[in-house]
Amino acid sequence: METYNNGFQGIETDLVVVGAGIAGISAALEAAETGFGVLLIEKNPFIGGRVAQLFEYFPKLCPPTCGLEINIRRLRENEKIKLLTLANVKKIEKTEKGLVLEVTQNPRFVNNRCTICGECAKVCPVERPNDFNFGLDKTKAIYIPYENAYPSKYVIDPQYCKFDECKMCLDVCKYNAIDFNEHKQKYRVEARALIWATGWDPYDATRLENLGFGKYPNVITNMMMERLASPFGPTKGEIRIPNFNMELKEVAFVQCAGSRDENHLEFCSTVCCLASMKQAHYIRTQYPDTKIHIFYIDLRANGILEDFYNRTKADPLIEYHRGKVAKVWQNPQNKRLVVEAEDTLSGVLTKKEVDLVVLATGMQPTTSKKIIPLDNIIDDNGFVRNELDGAIIGCGTCVSPKDVASVVQEATGAAMKAIVKIKEAQ
């Protein structure tokens, strides 16, 4: 690495992959294992993205950590990949040979010497809401993002840490691993191809006012349900709302909460039907007698996922109701939630009183926040427009909503598309 006069460090590589969720990790690994140099850029202090937050995958009901474990090993042992966490792409310039990127990296304040011994977090006096668990619990200001996080290092949240005013972690760390003087880094990256794989955010459920999110603590999103079911989550895998008493006799899943809706996301988020069926299974495993209502417009279990749908239909305590949920409100007498749905075609109204409402909120592409520093690259919904065949190869859920299997498939393909570009540039 050479240092530029203007403070930029230079990196030359074949391929840059932006986003280290399952799409970016897969694309980076596949390219690197074919012999190409890869710079993998991630904005979070950890890799794994959304799948790291999931408890289980459908339809095999297996933990994502299993595949991530293998991928992390591949990543760690491959010298062809350089990983930058806490990093963002600020500028993209097209050149004759390929691309030049400007990348900034925020300080972690914890260096490579960290042995994850955990003494720092023990003494840290400041807490922060745990965004990994959607605010359902807290971490210290110096924290490890999740149990099997990679890089396996602590990180300081500068919004909460008191730094020199406190220094308690600094004093207790035996390995000189904490460095309050770490600064922002700037990189100038020359590459021949770029894969953009920054994934999705859950659609903001507070915008679904009629569905009671934010108003009633027992209205949660499907992603919160994943954290509640996870043994590494805020309740250690017990499905309950922290600091809220409820007897889980009946649960409602509200499909298309914000999806297939012109006032919110006009597209179908593709995974929510199966996600709710899977989560119905989570509930069933812990609560054998709980009744589960799934309100839907169309059930979309494409391909062999139909088998999984049939499996849930065999459960006598899972009831499917066709209809779009119009309203969720609290019965003032017994404090339970009332879910009101209407079948738009038949006009049939359904009302159910339940103890927990899970909103199957959809996928908002992260690119809708205009994070790609290029013009004319996204469509009106914020998805990357791959057909433009410009400088970048979009991949994963920032191109269109899809499930993990399809994401990995597309990511492997994206690596090939990048290789074709690299070879053409040579």
Partner 1 sequence: MATGEKLGVYICSGCDIGGAVDCEKIVADVEKEFNPAVCKINNWVCNEKFVEQIKNEIKEKDLDRVVIAACSPRFLSDLFNFGKVVVERVNLREQVAWTHKPMDENTQELALDYVKMGILKALNSQYPEPLVLDINSTILVVGGGITGLTSALACANSGYKVILVEKESELGGFYKKLHKIAPQKYPYLLLEPNTIDETISKVETHPNIQVLKNCVIQKISGQPGMFDVDASVNGNLIQFQVGAIIQATGWKPYDATKLSHLGYGKFSNVLTNIEFEELVRDNKVAEKFNGKPIQSIVFVQCAGSRDKDHLPYCSSYCCSASLKQALYVRELYPNAKIYIIYKDIRTPGNYEIFYKRVQSEDNIFLTKGEITNLSGNGNGKIDLEIENTLLAPKIKIQADLVVLATGMVPSTFVNVEDLAEQAATTADGKKVAAGAEVGAKILNLTYRQGTDLPTLKYGFPDSHYICFPYETRRTGIYAAGTVRAPMDGVSCKNDSYGAALKAIQVIENVKLGRAVHPRSGDTSYPDFFLQRCTQCKRCTEECPFGTLDEDDKGTPKPNPNRCRRCGICMGACPERIISFKNYSPQIISSMIKSLEIPESEEEKPRILAFLCENDAYPSLDVVARKKIQYSPYIRIIPVRCLGSVNIIWIADALSMGYDGIILIGCKYGEDYQCHFIRGSELANKRMENVQEKLKQLVLEPERVEFHTLSIDEFERIPEIFNQFAETIEKLGPNPYKDM
Among positive and negative, which fits the CA dihedral 399, 402, 403, 409?
A: negative
- Shorter beta-carbon distance to partner 1: residue 19 or 151: 151
Return the H-helix or E-strand segment holding 71. helix 64-76
- Shorter beta-carbon distance to partner 1: residue 116 or 166: 116
Q: What's the min distance (Å) between Cβ of 179 and partner 1?
A: 14
- Shorter beta-carbon distance to partner 1: residue 219 or 384: 384
Q: What's the min distance (Å) between Cβ of 375 and partner 1?
A: 15
- Shorter beta-carbon distance to partner 1: residue 10 or 118: 118
- Shorter beta-carbon distance to partner 1: residue 171 or 424: 424
Q: What's the min distance (Å) between Cβ of 28 and partner 1?
A: 12
- Shorter beta-carbon distance to partner 1: residue 219 or 411: 411
Residue 3 DSSP code: B
In angstroms, the CA 178 to CA 142 distance is 10
Q: What's the min distance (Å) between Cβ of 76 and partner 1?
A: 6
Q: Classify each residue of 83-109 as buried b or exposed e, where b means 16 or more C-beta atoms within 10 Å of its C-beta.
A: bbbbbbbeebeeeeebbebbbbbbbbb
In angstroms, the CA 37 to CA 28 distance is 9
Q: What's the min distance (Å) between Cβ of 337 and partner 1?
A: 26
Q: Are 225 and 282 in contact (CB under 8 A)?
A: yes
Q: What's the min distance (Å) between Cβ of 419 and partner 1?
A: 5
Return the H-helix or E-strand segment holding 311. helix 306-313
Residues 6+ apart with CB under 8 A from 235: 136, 228, 242
- Shorter beta-carbon distance to partner 1: residue 155 or 328: 155
Q: Calculate the alpha carbon distances from 394 to 6, 61, 173 in Å.
A: 31, 28, 42
Which residue, 55, 68, 76, is CA-closest to 23? 68
Q: What's the min distance (Å) between Cβ of 126 and partner 1?
A: 22
